[in-house]
Amino acid sequence: MPGCNCRQRHSTPAWSDTKVLPINTQPHNDNLLEIRDLHFSRGGRPVFRGLNVSIPRGGITAIMGPSGTGKTTLLKLIGGQLRPERGQILVDGIDVHRQGLSDLYQLRRRMGMLFQSGALLTDLSVFENVAFPLREHYALPEPLLRTLVLMKLESVGLRGARDLMPSELSGGMARRVALARAIALDPMMIMYDEPFTGLDPITMGVIVSLIKRLNDALGLTSILVSHDVQEASSIADQLFLISDGVVVDSGTPEALGRTTSEWSRQFLEGLPDGPVPFHYPAPDYLADLTEAR
């Protein structure tokens, strides 16, 4: 229900669609998201090879790994935009990839997503972008819709920018508008795709604090994929490090700070060489140089 900051959904209001949300037939547990034995390949290259992840309700979970490890792909799999070859993804007990299109769309109403680019609709103003999901799903009276949109924009500090067009926004502002839009339907979870990439330190600080504040205030479950160790560690309750298609390490930021895994240490401390080699596999250097002579 728009405007409601509580975690449980109330009875369907008169102005909402009559269609009911998919029923959770699984036993209720503390994990909002469960990924079991996930296998996925792209262009013949395996991206995930038996990935297992459990994400509890209510916290912030960061999924981290080097570029190209399939972090964004994982979010698309969770959102049902891609299909795995094997394995299961359960969101609130609902198997995402066993839903029909209509049920999948119902489930997505409860999942917000912040894209790296913001993905704002370029022909709509800031106000209309945030109003977009509300207009599409609910026949709200215009004054109520206006109030809701202004509340969402106020929560990201951009109420004053309501009349701007996306082309007039900075990268950080566009991401904040996208965040306001992502929470417009009061989802149970939000997925953030590289939310800190390409931002200046001040804007990055704003986004970090917004993710934390919104998660706590709205009782959300936040999943963020990122390779920014400092920022993600500062707000995450739990970290998963993925590489080569599997989880290589997981735990609280404090626990991972004490990890003995060489790979994890290299990633978390940003070491240029280690288990992930500096050099791309190549033939012998000297032989390569002298080959043409």
Partner 1 sequence: MLGGLQKLGHWGLGVLERLGRGHLFLFRVLMSLGTAVTRPRLVIKELYSVGVLSLLIIAVSGLFVGMVLGYQGYITLVNFGAEEALGSVVALSLVRELGPVITALLFAGRAGSALSAEIGLMKTTEQLSGMEMMAVDPVKRVILPRFVAAFISLPLLAAIFSAVAVMGGYFIGVGLLGVDGGSYWSQMQANVDFYEDVMNGIIKSLVFGFVVAWIAVFEGYDTVPTSEGVSRSTTRTVVHSALAVLALDFILTGLMFGDI
The residues binding partner 1 (CB under 8 A) are 76, 79, 81, 101, 105-106, 108-109, 111-113, 115-117, 119-122, 132-133, 136-137, 178, 181, 185
Smallest separation, CB 208 to partner 1 (Å): 22
**Which whole-number Å values give the CA distances from 158 to 2, 151, 170, 214, in the listed order?**
19, 10, 12, 15
Cβ proximity to partner 1: between 59 and 79 the closer is 79
Smallest separation, CB 1 to partner 1 (Å): 15
CB-based contact 166:122 (threshold 8 Å):
yes
126-137 vs 142-155: helix axis angle to the nearest 10? 130
Smallest separation, CB 110 to partner 1 (Å): 9
Smallest separation, CB 25 to partner 1 (Å): 20
Smallest separation, CB 172 to partner 1 (Å): 17
CB-based contact 27:33 (threshold 8 Å):
no
**290 in helix, strand or coil?**
helix
Cβ proximity to partner 1: between 17 and 269 the closer is 17
Smallest separation, CB 28 to partner 1 (Å): 23
The residue count of the chain comes to 293
Residues whose CB falls within 8 Å of the CB of residue 234, separated by 6 or more in sequence, listed in order: 208, 253
DSSP state of 16: B
Cβ proximity to partner 1: between 84 and 133 the closer is 133
Cβ proximity to partner 1: between 38 and 185 the closer is 185
Six-digit token pair at 188?
Answer: 């149970």
Cβ proximity to partner 1: between 106 and 147 the closer is 106
CB-based contact 204:158 (threshold 8 Å):
no
Cβ proximity to partner 1: between 158 and 229 the closer is 158
